[in-house]
């Protein structure tokens, strides 16, 4: 795992999300992880122009380390979105379609900004969200008010859930959803991202700590 910022136990929110990357995304992280059977740790270091990726794990009967150096991909690097004050993030898994990230975040506003930035790179799905404190586990979230959504956002989100878009593996595709609403994939994707961002804000309203 790659820790971006220490001191996670002092931050107020915990989130797990998946970032599905487009097929043409230039990062070689998935290729590195394909070389190990069991993923142990992922790390990335950058000097601003080039970044070094390291994947540690196990393959066959022993440990294995894979490394590669590549140019920094401005505007397309998810690590850059995670490198900020008030956020402690770890890449915990790399899948065939993207990465899974766990993070501790200072505030709901910062979380919404991070999700928004990541959404410009790929499709973001928030899998788990809760409040943390140094002496307690993740708490249950209160009921989310769907009234924060527009009618069209709510209808689209509900249909996406019913048809398995948020299942793993997905039960339907963005293209199929777009066809159902007679809109482009870009329009449908933007509508879902807007709804997801509002739900993140609503789910954590009144629970953020520090900087709010």
pLDDT higher than threshold 80 for residue 118? yes
Cα separation, 113 vs 144, in Å, equals 19
Q: What is the pTM of this model?
A: 0.57
Rg (alpha carbons) of the chain, rounded to whole number: 18
Task: Give Cα 196 to chain centroid, integer Å.
Answer: 12
Per residue in 55-114, pLDDT tens? 888 887 788 888 888 777 766 788 888 888 888 888 888 777 888 888 888 887 888 888
Average pLDDT, the chain: 75
Say whether pLDDT at 181 is over 90.
yes
Closest C-alpha among 211, 205, 192 to residue 141: 205
Summarised one tens digit per residue, pLDDT across range 19-30 is 888 887 877 777
Distance CA 109, CA 46 (A): 27
What's the rounded Cα separation, in Å, for the pair 197 and 23? Answer: 24
123 vs 201, more confident: 123
Residue 197 CA to its chain's centroid (Å)? 12
Eight-class DSSP state of 141:
P
Residue 7 confidence class, pLDDT cut points 50, 70, 90: very low
Please state the domain extents for the chain.
8-27+73-203
β-partners of residue 102 are 16, 90
pLDDT of residue 182: 94
């Amino acid at each position: 795992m790659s820790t971006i910022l220490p001191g996670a136990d002092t931050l107020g929110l915990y989130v797990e999300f998946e970032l599905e990357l487009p097929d043409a995304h230039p990062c070689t992280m998935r290729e590195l992880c394909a070389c190990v059977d069991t993923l142990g740790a992922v790390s990335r270091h950058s000097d601003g122009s080039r970044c070094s990726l390291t994947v540690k794990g196990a393959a066959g009967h022993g440990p294995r380390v894979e490394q590669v150096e590549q140019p920094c991909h401005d505007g397309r690097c998810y690590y850059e979105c995670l490198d900020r004050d008030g956020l402690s993030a770890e890449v915990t898994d790399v899948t065939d379609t993207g990465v899974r990230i766990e993070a501790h975040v200072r505030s709901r506003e910062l979380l919404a900004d991070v999700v928004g930035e990541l959404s410009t790179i790929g499709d973001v799905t928030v899998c788990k969200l809760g409040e943390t404190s140094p002496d307690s586990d993740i708490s249950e979230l209160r009921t989310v008010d769907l009234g924060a959504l527009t009618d069209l956002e709510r209808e689209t989100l509900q249909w996406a859930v019913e048809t398995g878009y948020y299942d793993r593996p997905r039960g339907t595709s963005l293209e199929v959803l777009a066809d159902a609403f007679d809109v482009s994939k870009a329009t449908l994707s933007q509508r879902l991202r807007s709804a997801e961002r509002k739900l993140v804000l609503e789910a954590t309203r009144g629970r953020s700590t520090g900087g709010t």
